[in-house]
């Protein structure tokens, strides 16, 4: 016998899973930040090393076909600079950068047209099936 699950139960399960994945990602990010700060403070790498590693990463991504082209040198330097802000722990600059990013995201969302998903109750779908002459319990109608 097939198991039925409600849309709200499915969404709850998916959101719980996404929350767990987000917590894991934050935990990993914190660990990496801590380790990179230790290595940087011990003088085991420099800002130039970070920039070279960013270049190498993008070269590899291009060769694997995961990106079409390597970003400009200015963009690569920006990525390296942002990484160094985290490694150095420059809170003032990080806050300013995050505020600017949030502002750009809000502006983009305001310009974007919002899509909407409506889910019809089962009774309405059954009524549509009866009106169209379809077999009860058969395929359901998709309403756009």
Domain ranges of the chain: 14-112
Residue 143 has pLDDT above 70, yes or no: no
Q: Distance from first CA to last CA of the chain, Å, rounded?
A: 31
Which of 12 and 114 is assigned the larger pLDDT? 12
Which residue bears the tokens 């011990």? 42
Query: Residue 31: how many CA atoms within 13 Å on its side-chain side?
Result: 6
pLDDT tens for 15-57 read 999 999 999 999 999 999 999 999 999 999 999 999 999 999 9
What is the value of pTM for the model shown?
Answer: 0.59
Distance between alpha carbon 25 and the CA centroid of its chain, in Å? 11
**Mean pLDDT, rounded, for 73-84:** 94
What is the pLDDT, as a whole number, of residue 79? 94
In this predicted structure, what is the pLDDT of residue 117? 72
The C-alpha angle 107, 111, 112, rounded to 5 degrees, equals 115
Q: What are the tokens at 30?
A: 């914190």
């Amino acid at each position: 016998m097939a198991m039925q699950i409600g849309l709200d139960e499915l969404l709850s399960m998916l959101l719980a899973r996404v929350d767990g994945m987000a917590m894991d990602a934050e935990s990993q990010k914190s660990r990496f930040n801590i380790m990179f700060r230790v290595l940087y403070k011990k003088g085991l790498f420099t800002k130039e090393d970070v920039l070279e590693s960013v270049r190498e990463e993008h070269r590899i991504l291009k060769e694997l076909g995961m990106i079409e082209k390597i970003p400009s040198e200015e963009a690569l330097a920006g990525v390296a600079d942002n990484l160094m802000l985290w490694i150095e722990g420059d809170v003032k600059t990080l806050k300013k950068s995050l505020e600017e990013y949030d502002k750009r995201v809000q502006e983009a969302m305001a310009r974007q047209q919002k899509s909407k998903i409506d889910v019809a109750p089962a009774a309405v779908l059954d009524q549509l099936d009866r009106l169209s002459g379809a077999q009860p319990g058969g395929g359901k109608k998709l309403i756009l």
